[in-house]
């Protein structure tokens, strides 16, 4: 752990998340439920806490009220101590007017005063909508020891999937020599995870420069990184080993939940080590109840769930009621949903508070994930 304030983390949590359809109609993507007990934002915040990063800014924008309320003062992640600072940072009105964040880089630019007040040596830029567990300490140490201007966390992806990501080409020492933003013909399979460590003085200079460019998209991947490469800055790749998922689509959110339900153990949420847990809000709900005719297989269920039917390969959140003679397979059932007697559902995400009427048959025999909202 780092246990010092020379590092500040900035979590980009303002995206609209339109590909999650109705799940994000009134909820910011980082506030969406995951794995019965958690919200997506729990993962980067827990990673920061477990890394000893004591100053964290969460940049909110779309439907920020619920996310602001959930984050609070950072107590859930131990970020409310005497030497800690947790702050949600929404776009605000200034003498120049009121502006939404125009891009990922612009979001940081609009909060330069927050970073200047913290006066860090390094800034860690994170996405608020990825599922993974890590300590950023090793990556920060690599950045510092290599005297890089920016270090980018990369993960090897299937070459057939590489065109979906920002792709890094590196030399034999893992110095980044080329960056391709979602290329049709990728030159490598090293995908950017959207996790950056910048030397703050260098980043500040490039943010100011980018802000003056009216043609810029004000985005790290599209603008800041290519500009730094063009200027011969030192860009280092950090090879991440472990579980990582971008859960920006219904299919990817469902798949990541199924990884937990099917106990693939690529992502351990049962960690006993206090320095390696994913922390979240305790619902203070009643215990879950599995009735006499209820049957649950290869699934996880949170507090307050009542399961009277047949559940296989499912993720059941708090307050869910599944009545008798129901049969659910490969379903993600979010908080307070109610599945009435005799319903049959397969390969679905069931949004919070939804009521599925009795004897309904939804998506049975279909491999494509559907959203019930």
Which tens digits make up the pLDDT trace of 120-156? Answer: 999 999 999 999 999 999 999 999 999 999 999 999 9
Residue 365, number of CB atoms within 10 A of its CB: 8
**Contact of 136 with 207, CB cutoff 8 Å:** no
Instruction: Report the percent of the chain where pLDDT is more than 90.
Output: 77
Is the pLDDT reported for residue 3 higher than 70?
A: no
For 242, residues 6+ apart whose C-beta sits below 8 A from its C-beta are 132, 133, 134, 266
CA 66 to chain centre: 16
Q: Is the pLDDT of residue 246 over 80?
A: yes
Beta bridge partners of 331: 348
Domains in the chain (CATH in brackets) are 4-261 (3.90.550.10), 289-372 (2.160.10.10)
- Model pTM? 0.93
Percent residues over pLDDT 70 in the chain: 97
Beta bridge partners of residue 126, listed in sequence order: 11
Q: What's the whole-number average pLDDT of the chain?
A: 92
Report the pLDDT value the prediction gives residue 162, as an integer from 0 to 100. 87
- Angle CA(113)–CA(115)–CA(121) in degrees, nearest 5? 145
User: Poorest-confidence range of 23-32, 86-95, 235-244, 328-337?
Assistant: 86-95
Residue 313 has pLDDT above 90, yes or no: yes
DSSP assigned state of 115: H
pLDDT computed for residue 206 by the predictor: 97
Q: Assess whether pLDDT exceeds 80 at residue 97.
A: no
* pLDDT tens figures, 270-288: 888 878 899 998 877 888 8
Candidates 238, 268, 220, 225; CA nearest to 156 is 238
**So what's the pLDDT on residue 34?**
97
Three-state secondary-structure class, residue 302: coil
The residue assigned the tokens 């049962």 is 270
Question: Which among 300, 301, 297, 310 is positioned nearest to 344, based on CA atoms?
Answer: 310
Beta bridge partners of 94: 97
Confidence of residue 159 (pLDDT cuts 50, 70, 90): confident
pLDDT surpasses 80 at 98: no
**How far does CA 117 lie from the centroid of its chain?**
26
pLDDT average, residue stretch 257-269: 87
For residue 41, what pLDDT is reported? Answer: 96
Residues in the chain: 373
> Binning pLDDT at 50, 70 and 90, where does residue 96 land?
low
How do strand 235-239 and strand 244-246 relate by DSSP bridges? unpaired
């Amino acid at each position: 752990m780092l246990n010092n304030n020379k590092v500040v983390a900035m979590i980009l949590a303002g995206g609209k998340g339109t590909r999650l359809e109705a799940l994000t109609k009134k909820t910011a993507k980082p506030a969406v439920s995951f794995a019965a007990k958690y919200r997506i934002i729990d993962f980067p915040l827990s990673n920061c806490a477990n890394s000893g990063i004591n100053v964290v800014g969460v940049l909110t924008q779309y439907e920020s009220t619920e996310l602001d309320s959930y984050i609070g003062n950072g107590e859930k992640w131990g970020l409310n101590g005497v030497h800690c600072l947790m702050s949600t940072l929404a776009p605000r009105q200034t003498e120049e007017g009121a502006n939404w964040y125009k891009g990922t880089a612009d979001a940081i630019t609009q909060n330069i005063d927050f970073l200047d007040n913290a006066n860090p040596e390094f800034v860690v830029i994170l996405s608020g909508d990825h599922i993974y567990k890590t300590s950023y300490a090793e990556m920060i140490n690599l950045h510092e020891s290599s005297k890089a201007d920016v270090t980018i966390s990369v993960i090897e992806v299937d070459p057939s999937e590489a065109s979906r990501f920002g792709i890094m080409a590196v030399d034999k020492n893992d110095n980044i020599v080329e960056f391709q933003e979602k290329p049709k013909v990728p030159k490598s399979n090293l995908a950017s995870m959207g996790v950056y460590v910048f030397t703050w003085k260098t980043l500040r200079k490039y943010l100011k420069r980018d802000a003056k460019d009216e043609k810029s998209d004000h985005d790290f991947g599209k603008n800041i990184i290519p500009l730094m490469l063009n200027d011969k800055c030192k860009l280092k790749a950090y090879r991440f080993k472990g579980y990582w998922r971008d859960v920006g689509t219904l299919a990817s959110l469902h798949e990541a939940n199924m990884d937990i339900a099917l106990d693939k153990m690529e992502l351990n949420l049962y960690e006993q080590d206090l320095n390696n847990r994913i922390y979240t809000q305790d619902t203070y709900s009643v215990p879950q109840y599995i009735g006499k005719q209820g049957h649950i297989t290869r699934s996880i269920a949170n507090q307050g769930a009542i399961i009277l039917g047949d559940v296989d390969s499912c993720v059941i959140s708090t307050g869910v009621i599944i009545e008798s003679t129901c049969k659910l397979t490969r379903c993600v059932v979010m908080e307070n949903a109610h599945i009435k007697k005799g319903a049959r559902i397969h390969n679905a995400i069931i949004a919070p508070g939804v009521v599925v009427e009795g004897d309904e048959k939804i998506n049975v025999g279909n491999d494509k994930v559907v959203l019930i909202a």
